[in-house]
């Protein structure tokens, strides 16, 4: 990918637009249009700041990219989208320069296009089955649906054209939304639109959940999340921070004594998973959750300004292969680490991180050690990390997840010297709501069990969605569940006798 | 908003603050804690064990020592000011029941959160003896309050400036020998709690401790507060904060508490402003 200069890309796109926009294009001609790269901050510059790496398309670029869409009758991209956005329709509108209408089409299915355009793994969703990519034999050549989505969403925000959705007349019903991440944001919006009073409870001092504490500024500017909350507040969603359901009030009390007619639980991922190897509690071993929360939520990257400290690292080993691992590695680099290595048990192909994040990480000088697993973490006399013992792996038979599972190769142990270890191998579920709510059914991993279509839990009037149900999933899947739950909750509330 | 209703300076660097937080006051039980954050982008989240609560006034009492940037800033708040963010009550409450004879040991600032536990133990019908200790007279707190509830209060200071010149473990050992308590609850600096367990172990007297591990969210998300309990990783925020003192890997806890020592020393240096604590005093 490399760093791309917005001005140069824009000029090229303007020329292309002049060539193509004046005539009716055949499919062959559409496929010949070069796919549009997205401008990024220069590598040397961006590793010294926390600002967003990807700069988005120019107007000419987005319209050229839109011309690449073949508007297939069967629209395989829609099937690839977890919330079935009418992708060809919004892309057609972009081609016509009707950005406001395009964003309206997206919002019929997805509440948060500025966020999803940035964080969705499009290459395994909408862009995977794209006919253009298939014909050009590379998913990287598929229509860049995510980038187009991002453009129109940003366009709307910059124009100040964000419409506050209309709210149905008051129903007299009161709903609690627990947590303020993507699942809860979506549920809250849809419930409020139906005219219910909606109170959102957040345990932390800031709203946004994983979008704020987990995903770094360089990948998702917090200003975008803040604006989404501005809209929710303008819609009349009430927000109560510093409220931990289960401790400040129990779930049943919300229903029985605080007058809530229904509850949506979107409490998110819970306790970080550790490797369960020797040395895991040494000084210098962090969960990615802790490391990223310090940096993102507590702004520890502004050393000297922030009250929350963050570890001074020189050599960092990050375990894991997902987006969180990429985020942690790139944060460590920006905080001044001299060497950051991502250690992953499988090969690059199996990495669940977004392709773009892996590419950006590589450009920035993050090193990758594939097919290696940690055996133990070694400590100094003072109990601080001094290295990790690794073992090489080869890929064996596919496991339950369908990915080929790593098999350790005996005798291939090696030592990787480092002073910091960041563990990014996922989360177990938070035990709190379960512990404090009688009758709430969870599975053996502690995730709340829901009916698939309605997101209804084992308790009357209580619905759930997002990571507390799915384990570690994506923003778009969390949003999809928030939306499904809200639809079912709206039906449920309609069926309730008036208070 | 969580308004400061009363403030008292117990010693040069120890403050007692009564804060309006009706929901927490209503629900909190002995042994639980809160996390506060003073608004804005940059202030840290500070976990503090709840020292007392008053349901009628809708208030909780916090006792803290101004040792870091955040607690110094907290100490600058006056009556009528507010703490922007206050979350709680967090953690599991103390397992209060009838044990028979209970010794409560409080070291330094730990005497404050120990008070409601001692009180609850007494109310549960236990015979109660309390040991409180501090480095010096100035840092000794809660003597009077403990006197109201305990059958006996033993006071000691490291330097002998008040009460008996001893570490809390000395009278603890004597009580283990002469009084044979059924339970010991120790709250204070980790090194003190560690040596309380070293003292009680030969007598096989169950010893509960409250761990002040480094924490950010306090709700079971960050994993920073993990402690090794019988070789198993537990999280002080959702599994604790109280644990069986014999099961705690104290050396690891002490190491982990020093994770940011270099950074915090700098911060401590920075922020004595406005508090009338001079360099070298603290």
Of B90, B114, B149, the residue that ends a domain is B90
B227-275 pLDDT per residue, tens? 999 999 999 999 999 999 999 999 999 999 999 887 666 555 454 445 5
DSSP letters for chain B: -EEEEEEEE-SSSEEEEEEE-HHHHHH--TT-EEEEE-STTTPPPEEEEEEEEETTTTEEEEEEE--SHHHHHHHT--TT-EESEEEEEESPPP-----SEEEEEEEGGGHHHHHHHHHHHHHTT-EEEEEEEESSGGG---HHHHHHH-SEEEEEESSSSSSEES-THHHHHHHHHHT--SEEEEES-HHHHHHHHHHHGGGT--EEEE-----SSSSSSS-TTEEEETTEEEEHHHH-SEEEGGGB-HHHHHHHHTTTHHHHHHHHHH--TTTT--TTT-
B106 and B9 co-located in one domain:
no
pLDDT of residue A48: 94
B144 and B251 co-located in one domain:
yes
CB contact under 8 A, A247 and B90: yes
Reply yes or no on whether the pLDDT at A172 is more than 80. yes
B149 and B250 co-located in one domain:
yes
> CB–CB of B16/B63 below 8 Å?
yes
Number of domains in chain B: 2
CATH code, B51 = 2.40.30.10
What average pLDDT does range A222-229 have in this prediction?
94
Cβ contacts (< 8 Å) between B258 and chain A: which residues?
283
Chain A contact present for B88, CB below 8 A: yes
pLDDT of residue B273: 44
Give a yes or no: residue B52 inside a domain. Answer: yes
The conformation of residue A162, written as its DSSP 8-state character, comes to P
Give a yes or no: residue B175 inside a domain. Answer: yes
pLDDT of residue B45: 95
Chain B contact present for A239, CB below 8 A: no
Give a yes or no: residue B275 inside a domain. Answer: no
Name which of B221, B256, B258, B261 to mutate to probe chain A: the one with the most chain A Cβ atoms within 10 A of its Cβ: B221
A101-128 pLDDT per residue, tens? 999 999 988 889 999 999 999 999 999 9
Which chain A residue has its CA at the smallest distance from B225's CA?
Answer: A290
B178 and B72 co-located in one domain:
no
Chain B contact present for A213, CB below 8 A: yes
CATH code, B202 = 3.40.50.80
For chain A, percent of residues with pLDDT exceeding 70: 99
| Domain limits for position B184 | 101-257
Which chain B residue has its CA at the smallest distance from A241's CA?
Answer: B85
CB contact under 8 A, A247 and B251: no
Chain A contact present for B219, CB below 8 A: yes
HSE-CB at A274 with a 13 A cutoff on CA atoms is 25
Chain B contact present for A298, CB below 8 A: yes
Cβ atoms within 10 Å of B23's Cβ, excluding its own: 17
B131 and B73 co-located in one domain:
no
B108 and B225 co-located in one domain:
yes
Q: CA-CA distances (angstroms) from residue A370 to A318, A390, A406, A467?
A: 12, 11, 10, 27
CB contact under 8 A, B255 and A204: no
B113 and B229 co-located in one domain:
yes
Give a yes or no: residue B49 inside a domain. Answer: yes
Reply yes or no on whether the pLDDT at A496 is more than 90. no
CB contact under 8 A, A309 and B263: yes
User: Which residues, including other chains, have CB under 8 Å from residue A499's CB and lie 6 or more apart?
Assistant: A172, A173, A261
Give a yes or no: residue B213 inside a domain. Answer: yes
Q: CA-CA distances (angstroms) from residue B242 to A315, A408, B118, B126?
A: 35, 39, 14, 19
Residue B228 is encoded by which pair of tokens? 């090794």
Chain A contact present for B9, CB below 8 A: no
Cβ contacts (< 8 Å) between A203 and chain B: which residues?
87, 217, 219
Say which of A244, A282, A298 has its CB closest to residue B219: A244
Per-residue model confidence as pLDDT tens for chain B (282 residues) = 899 999 999 988 899 999 999 999 999 999 999 999 999 899 999 999 999 999 999 999 999 999 888 899 999 999 999 999 999 999 999 999 999 999 999 999 999 999 999 999 999 999 999 999 999 999 999 999 999 999 999 999 999 999 999 999 999 999 999 999 999 999 999 999 999 999 999 999 999 999 989 999 999 899 999 999 999 999 999 999 999 999 999 999 999 999 988 766 655 545 444 555 443 333
Name which of B43, B220, B234, B271 to mutate to probe chain A: the one with the most chain A Cβ atoms within 10 A of its Cβ: B220
Give a yes or no: residue B116 inside a domain. Answer: yes
Residues 80-99 of A with CB under 8 A from B: none
B70 and B110 co-located in one domain:
no
The conformation of residue A278, written as its DSSP 8-state character, comes to B
Give a yes or no: residue B231 inside a domain. Answer: yes
Chain A contact present for B250, CB below 8 A: no
A279-293 pLDDT per residue, tens? 999 999 999 999 999
CB contact under 8 A, B223 and A290: yes
What average pLDDT does range A272-276 have in this prediction?
92
DSSP letters for A174-189: EEEEE--SHHHHHHHH
Phi, psi torsion values for A184, nearest 5 degrees: -70, -40
Phi, psi torsion values for A342, nearest 5 degrees: -90, 125
A&B contacts, CB < 8 Å? 126
B105 and B204 co-located in one domain:
yes
The position carrying tokens 């009037």 is: A461
User: Helix, strand, or coil here: A340?
Assistant: strand
Say which of A213, A298, A309 has its CB closest to residue B260: A309
pLDDT of residue B275: 55
B13 and B144 co-located in one domain:
no
B234 and B125 co-located in one domain:
yes
Cis previous bond, B241, omega within 30: yes
CB contact under 8 A, A298 and B256: no
ipTM of this complex prediction, to 2 decimal places: 0.91
B189 and B159 co-located in one domain:
yes
Give a yes or no: residue B50 inside a domain. Answer: yes
């Amino acid at each position: 990918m490399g760093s791309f200069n917005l001005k140069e890309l824009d000029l090229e796109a303007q020329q292309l637009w002049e060539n193509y926009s004046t005539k009716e294009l055949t499919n062959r001609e559409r496929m010949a249009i070069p796919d549009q790269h997205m401008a990024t901050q220069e590598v040397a510059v961006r590793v010294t700041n926390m600002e967003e790496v990807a700069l988005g398309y120019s107007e000419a670029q987005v319209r050229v990219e839109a011309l690449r869409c073949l508007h297939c009758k069967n629209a395989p991209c829609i099937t690839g989208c977890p919330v079935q956005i009418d992708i060809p329709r919004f892309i057609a509108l972009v081609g016509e320069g009707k950005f406001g209408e395009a964003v309206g089409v997206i919002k019929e299915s997805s509440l948060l296009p500025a966020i999803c355009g940035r964080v969705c793994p499009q290459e395994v969703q909408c862009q995977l089955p794209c006919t253009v990519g298939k014909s050009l034999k590379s998913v990287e050549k598929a229509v860049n649906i995510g980038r187009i989505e991002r453009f129109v969403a940003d366009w709307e925000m910059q124009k100040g054209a964000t419409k506050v959705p209309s709210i149905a007349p008051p129903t007299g019903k009161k709903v609690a939304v627990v947590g303020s991440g993507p699942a809860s944001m979506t549920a809250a919006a849809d419930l409020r639109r139906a005219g219910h009073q909606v109170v959102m409870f957040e345990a932390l001092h800031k709203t946004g959940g994983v979008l704020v504490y987990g995903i770094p500024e360089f990948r998702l500017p917090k200003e975008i999340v803040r604006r989404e909350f501005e809209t929710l507040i303008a819609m009349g969603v009430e927000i109560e921070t510093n409220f931990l359901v289960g401790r400040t009030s129990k779930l049943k009390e919300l229903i029985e004594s605080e007058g809530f007619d229904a509850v949506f639980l979107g409490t998110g991922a819970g306790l970080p998973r550790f490797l369960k190897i020797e040395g895991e509690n040494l000084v210098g071993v962090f969960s990615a959750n802790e490391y990223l929360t310090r940096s993102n939520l507590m702004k520890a990257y502004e050393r000297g300004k922030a009250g929350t400290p963050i570890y001074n690292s020189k050599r960092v080993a990050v375990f894991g292969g997902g987006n969180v691992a990429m985020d942690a590695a790139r944060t460590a680099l920006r905080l001044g680490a001299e060497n950051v290595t991502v250690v992953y048990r499988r090969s690059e192909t199996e990495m669940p991180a977004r392709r773009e994040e892996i590419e950006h990480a590589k450009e920035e000088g993050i090193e990758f050690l594939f097919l290696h697993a940690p055996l133990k973490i070694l400590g100094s006399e003072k109990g601080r990390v001094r290295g990790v013992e690794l073992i090489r792996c080869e890929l064996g038979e596919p496991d339950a997840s369908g990915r080929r599972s790593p098999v350790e190769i005996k005798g291939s142990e090696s030592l990787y010297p480092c002073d910091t270890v960041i563990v990014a191998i996922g989360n177990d579920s938070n035990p709190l709501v379960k512990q404090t709510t009688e009758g709430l059914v969870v599975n053996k991993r502690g995730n709340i069990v829901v009916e698939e279509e309605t997101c209804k839990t084992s308790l009357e009037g209580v619905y759930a969605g997002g990571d507390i149900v799915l384990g570690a999933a994506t923003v778009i899947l969390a949003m999809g569940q928030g939306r499904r739950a809200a639809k079912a909750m709206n039906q449920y509330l309609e069926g309730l006798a008036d208070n | 908003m969580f308004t400061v209703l009363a403030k008292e300076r117990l010693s040069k660097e120890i403050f007692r603050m009564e804060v309006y937080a009706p929901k927490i006051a209503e629900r909190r039980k002995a042994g639980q804690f809160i996390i506060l954050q003073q608004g804005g982008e940059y202030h840290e989240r500070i976990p503090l064990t709840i020292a007392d609560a008053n349901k009628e006034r809708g208030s909780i009492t916090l006792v803290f020592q101004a040792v870091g940037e955040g607690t110094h800033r907290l100490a600058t708040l006056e009556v009528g000011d507010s703490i922007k963010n206050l979350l709680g009550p967090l953690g599991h409450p103390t397992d209060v029941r009838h044990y028979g004879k209970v010794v409560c040991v409080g070291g330094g600032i730990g005497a404050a959160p120990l008070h409601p536990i001692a009180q609850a133990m007494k109310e549960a019908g236990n015979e109660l003896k309390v040991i409180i200790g501090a480095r010096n007279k100035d840092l000794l707190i809660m003597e009077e309050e403990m006197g109201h509830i305990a059958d006996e209060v033993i006071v000691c200071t490291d330097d002998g400036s008040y009460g008996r010149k001893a570490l809390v473990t000395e009278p603890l050992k004597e009580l283990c020998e002469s009084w044979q308590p059924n339970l010991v609850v120790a709250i204070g600096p980790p090194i003190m709690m560690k040596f309380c367990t070293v003292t009680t172990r030969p007598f096989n007297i169950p010893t509960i401790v409250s761990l002040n591990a480094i924490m950010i969210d306090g709700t079971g998300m960050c994993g920073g507060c993990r402690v090794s309990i019988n070789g198993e990783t537990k999280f002080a925020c959702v599994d604790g904060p109280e644990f069986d003192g014999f099961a705690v890997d104290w050396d690891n806890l002490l190491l982990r508490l020093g994770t940011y020592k270099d950074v915090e020393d700098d911060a401590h240096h920075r922020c004595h402003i406005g508090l009338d604590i001079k360099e070298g005093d603290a």
